[in-house]
Structure 1
Amino acid sequence: MNEVRALLREAAQTSPQDETDLSAVLAGGRRRVRRRRLVVVGAVAAVAAAGTAVAVVAPGGTDPDRVAEHRVPRPDGPVLRLSDAGRAVAGRDYERVAAFTNKNLVWKNGRTFDGVTEDGQILIVELANDITNQARLALRDPATGRDDWLPDIAPQLRPRPISLGRDRLVFSVDEGLDVPLRTLVLDRATRTWSQRTWPGLPSSESYATATGPDGRLYVGVRASAGSPPPGGWPTGPDGEAEDAGGEGDTYDLWSVSLTDSSDVRDEGLRVGSFDFTDTALVWSAATNGTNDRIHVRDLATGAEHDFDPRSGKRCNLLGFSATGDRIVLGQYCGTYDDGRDDRVQVLTTQGRTVTTLQGDSIDGGLADGGTGGGGHLVAVQAWSGAEEGTYVYDLATDRFLRLTDSVSTYSVGGPTPAGELLVGTAYGEGKAQDPDPGMDLGSTQTLIRWAS
């Protein structure tokens, strides 16, 4: 999920190189393979990631069996459109905690905010402006602006935060496809790094991870992957791949100890997407495609129930998160003559639809609570037209407010405590697809503290 108080300082250096703008590649019509917009660092990483984002498009126009020819349908239950949002006001609805501008994300690397620790320190990742893409990490005190640079990590590693606790920081490491899962762990007291792999965990072409309330890392190992129909995806009215209603992916759920490499457990579950609340494990039957079942297991008693989320027969599940008694689904539901049907559906853990945020070219999901749980802020990004910007839906109060008027193409960020979110806005001509070397193509990241 990503990045508005006085600037602590403007960037003297600039940020992650993204010569292959995957957000632009993935944002089109190929929603089946787009889960989140990520900054991809380095040519090798960009090629590997882009390889997973290929969607075959059938020539010859629309397929009447798959592409609706009329208006975007209305979801079941209460619906909010972007036009229903009020305007968020600084000092009343939120506080700007810190901000950082990268003026050029195309031609140079630099620094980014990659999350916030449970005790309020901002994780900064700085990437070298050379072929190594060597990463350095720091923790910034937002009250003073002071950066505490952490001990160096091994070259060529690009850490992605999993958990940013008071005692330890846990990162996954991007190493390519079909390799064993590896994590880096920093003990904050001793300031020492350790690496962790689990010989008993199956290798996979892709993993999904979530930290459970018990402190274990839960890992989804790819079990099955949906594929385009024979002849490829048909095209929608906009000429893009029309893959709503596609077959989803599944994972086998395992869990591992972050302190003992021999502690590996097969949880015996086949899941799609999965997440935890403080008291429950929640999962879908499939992800990255259509999904007709949500399952909820009480962690204390083991009792389970499931329900049909009534998302719509053509809705591909792209985002999934849970908090308290709420489940948040990000979905692409098809392209119609009057626009794209994108949805962020909010349900209770008992299966009642609270509301569906619906719009053209939007995505979103739970934006806070990644380090410690208890989040209540759903961030929605709108990517085009007069409604472009970031919107916040507050699960605790049902407020729906517009926070910004632009969205950075280069969307970065990481886990944040409950009540805080990272927001990204465009800097300069930050959306050009074929940038000229003289253009300013950047992003401003801002840490927001929401008023309760």
Structure 2
Amino acid sequence: MGNDLAELMRSSADDAPPGDVDVASVVATGRRRVRRRRGLVGATALATAAVVTGAATLALTSAGSNVDDDRLAASPPRPDAPTIRLSDAEPAVEGRDYEELTSYTNEDLEADNGQYLDGVTDDGLVLFRDGPRADQRYPRFALLDPATGDKDWLPRLDIDQTQTWPVELSTDRLVLAGMGAPTSEDGLHVAQLAYVFDRDARTWRTMSWPDLPGVELPAGDVGPDGRLYVTTPDTQGAIPEGGWPVGTDGEAEDADAEGDTFRLWSVSLTDADDVRDEGLVVGDVAFTDDAMVWTDSSNGDAGMVHVRDLATGEETAFDPRTGERCNLLGLGASGDRIVLSQYCGTYADGVRDDRVQILSTDGEQVVTIQDSGAEGWLPAGSEVVNLTVYGGEHGGTYAYDLAGGRFLRLSEDVSSYGLGGPTGQPRELMWHTPENRGRGATQHLGRLLD
């Protein structure tokens, strides 16, 4: 999924792979999920870190420190919004609430890398990726028809073992973001690349932009104008002296962190010389069909939410009232709705205050889903908020329907791998469940029914 990249890039550098790591052996394993925490991993390490089996949740911490006892004794505060819990979700029934369009199972991702459903095109085909694997040093891509299972294999994209992330899957082209050479001595910044497949001509081309500064996250968003919007580092929130205290769950207690900021750029996907500094310092960025939405900062206090009408240029801003201790981990937007995924602290017995906050573009509090372990994601162009919960009685995948307000529980478990991608239609969604006692996973592509 899109925000796995951000999670990995902002994990602790303490456990980055050594410089002499055997890449071929590493990519032979499945991509374990890593929850985003404060800190930063070098971009050159990402190429291997993203596929390491059993990657642990990482944090920059002080080994002897603890969370304040008063915080542990308290319960998470109620959000300043209409609020629901995971227990309020209805069990989803196939045929009544949703239909499954296709699925794919990897039985053992610990033994070798596998095949994945990486996203859905605007005309309903699935981007299918095979490898790289121990006996195949490069990925293969196909467009899979979910109705028949037929695969149209694309010409080889000669990128060896480089990882890619889909940022546009339209009827005309496929755009995969990729990572170029390091642009800084410390390896924290890399060149932004894009691999563009012309679906009519059936040809690949590689885009790079010499005038674009090095990026921290080689991904981005394609706006309604067809340009790729990327961010370059501006400021990074300070880590307290001695590191973050450790909560009872063993993770860094980094609620109420100072956020990170970035400069926003846009580039043409046809002209390598067309690079534009958008003149904005932002946190996270998202697009609807007719608006750009951004926050003041990310991976900490979000600050204000800004909305720009792309037709008129008019801008508005409002306080999202996220709560005093909330760190913004993800931002999405669709129609007149904005979705913020947040971590807001850990309390007694390791209970986390996690929130998926849904607002209108005017700042109205629509609903906040609050529960321990809830992580939310709104794929670009979708009307379905995906929520995942790893473990516990409420473990599984949930869907919140922005159009109808339904809250559904799709599964009672979720695999430990970072799988999925953008979906082609507003009502579609992807989720994944464990197989083979957790060693493998099944990916599902479904559509919510009205």
Which one of the candidate residues 79, 84, 91 is aligned to 2:88? 84
Which SS does the other structure have where 2:191 is aligned? coil
Which one of the candidate residues 151, 157, 162 is aligned to 1:157? 162
Q: Which position in structure 1 is the counterpart of 2:340?
A: 329
Q: Which position in structure 2 is the counterpart of 1:134?
A: 138
Which one of the candidate residues 233, 236, 261 is aligned to 1:222? 233
Cα deviation digits, residues 272-296 of structure 1 (max 9, x gap): 0011111111100000111221011
**2: CA distance between counterparts of 1:45 and 1:349?**
34
State whether structure 2 residue 448 is matched by structure 1 residue 442: no
**1: CA distance between counterparts of 2:203 and 2:70?**
54
Cα deviation digits, residues 151-179 of structure 1 (max 9, x gap): 00112232211100111100011346422
Task: Report the number of matched residues.
Answer: 413
Q: Which position in structure 1 is the counterpart of 2:368?
A: 356
Q: Give unpaired runs (5+ residues) of structure 2.
A: 3-25, 183-187
Give matches, 1:116-135, under 5 Å: 116-130=120-134, 133-135=137-139
Change (3 A) 1:148 1:207: closer
The two structures have a TM-score, normalised by structure 1, of 0.86
Task: Indicate conservation of the 8 Å contact 2:117/2:127, yes or no.
Answer: yes
Change (3 A) 1:357 1:333: same
The two structures have a TM-score, normalised by structure 2, of 0.86
Cα deviation digits, residues 240-274 of structure 1 (max 9, x gap): 21001111111101111111111111110000001
Which one of the candidate residues 378, 383, 386 is aligned to 1:379? 386
Q: Which position in structure 2 is the counterpart of 1:429?
A: 437
Task: Indicate conservation of the 8 Å contact 1:61/1:239, yes or no.
Answer: no
State whether structure 2 residue 243 is matched by structure 1 residue 239: no
**1: CA distance between counterparts of 2:157 and 2:225?**
27
Cα deviation digits, residues 37-64 of structure 1 (max 9, x gap): xxx99746557xx89x853212334242
The residue identity in structure 2 corresponding to 1:172 is: A
**2: CA distance between counterparts of 1:279 and 1:126?**
35
> 1:19 deviation in Å?
6.4
State whether structure 2 residue 196 is matched by structure 1 residue 198: no
Considering Cα pairs closer than 8 Å and 6+ residues apart, tell me whether 1 or 2 has the greater RCO: 1
Which SS does the other structure have where 1:200 is aligned? coil
Which SS does the other structure have where 1:387 is aligned? coil
Task: Indicate conservation of the 8 Å contact 1:42/1:131, yes or no.
Answer: no
> 1:429 deviation in Å?
1.6
Q: Which position in structure 1 is the counterpart of 2:115?
A: 111
> 1:198 deviation in Å?
0.9
Q: Which position in structure 1 is the counterpart of 2:23?
A: none
Task: Indicate conservation of the 8 Å contact 2:256/2:327, yes or no.
Answer: yes
Which SS does the other structure have where 1:332 is aligned? strand
Cα deviation digits, residues 4-52 of structure 1 (max 9, x gap): xxxxxxxxxxx9744673x2xx43xx634699xxxx99746557xx89x
Cα deviation digits, residues 309-359 of structure 1 (max 9, x gap): 110111000010111111000000000004110010000111111111111
Which SS does the other structure have where 2:190 is aligned? coil
> 1:67 deviation in Å?
4.3
Give matches, 1:18-417, under 5 Å: 18=29, 21=32, 23=33, 26-27=34-35, 31-32=37-38, 43=48, 46=51, 55-64=59-68, 67-130=71-134, 133-154=137-158, 155-175=160-180, 177-207=188-218, 209-338=220-349, 339-367=351-379, 370=380, 373=381, 375-417=382-424
> 1:69 deviation in Å?
3.0
Q: Which position in structure 2 is the counterpart of 1:12?
A: none
**2: CA distance between counterparts of 1:33 and 1:89?**
41
Which SS does the other structure have where 2:87 is aligned? helix
The residue identity in structure 1 corresponding to 2:37 is: R
> 1:214 deviation in Å?
0.8
Q: Which position in structure 2 is the counterpart of 1:438?
A: none
**1: CA distance between counterparts of 2:340 and 2:161?**
34
**2: CA distance between counterparts of 1:238 and 1:116?**
36
Q: Give unpaired runs (5+ residues) of structure 1.
A: 3-14, 431-440
The residue identity in structure 2 corresponding to 1:443 is: A
Cα deviation digits, residues 204-259 of structure 1 (max 9, x gap): 33345111111111111111222321010011233321001111111101111111
Which SS does the other structure have where 1:83 is aligned? helix
Task: Indicate conservation of the 8 Å contact 1:17/1:41, yes or no.
Answer: no
Task: Indicate conservation of the 8 Å contact 1:425/1:444, yes or no.
Answer: yes
The residue identity in structure 1 corresponding to 2:87 is: S
**2: CA distance between counterparts of 1:44 and 1:317?**
23
The residue identity in structure 2 corresponding to 1:346 is: I
Task: Indicate conservation of the 8 Å contact 2:168/2:174, yes or no.
Answer: yes
The residue identity in structure 1 corresponding to 2:385 is: V
Task: Indicate conservation of the 8 Å contact 1:18/1:41, yes or no.
Answer: no
Which SS does the other structure have where 1:181 is aligned? strand
Superposition CA RMSD, Å: 2.4
Task: Indicate conservation of the 8 Å contact 1:17/1:42, yes or no.
Answer: no
Identical-pair percentage: 49
**2: CA distance between counterparts of 1:262 and 1:380?**
39
**2: CA distance between counterparts of 1:429 and 1:304?**
50
Cα deviation digits, residues 90-138 of structure 1 (max 9, x gap): 1111101101110011111221100011111111100143176410000
Which SS does the other structure have where 2:96 is aligned? coil
Change (3 A) 1:239 1:146: closer
Change (3 A) 1:324 1:287: same
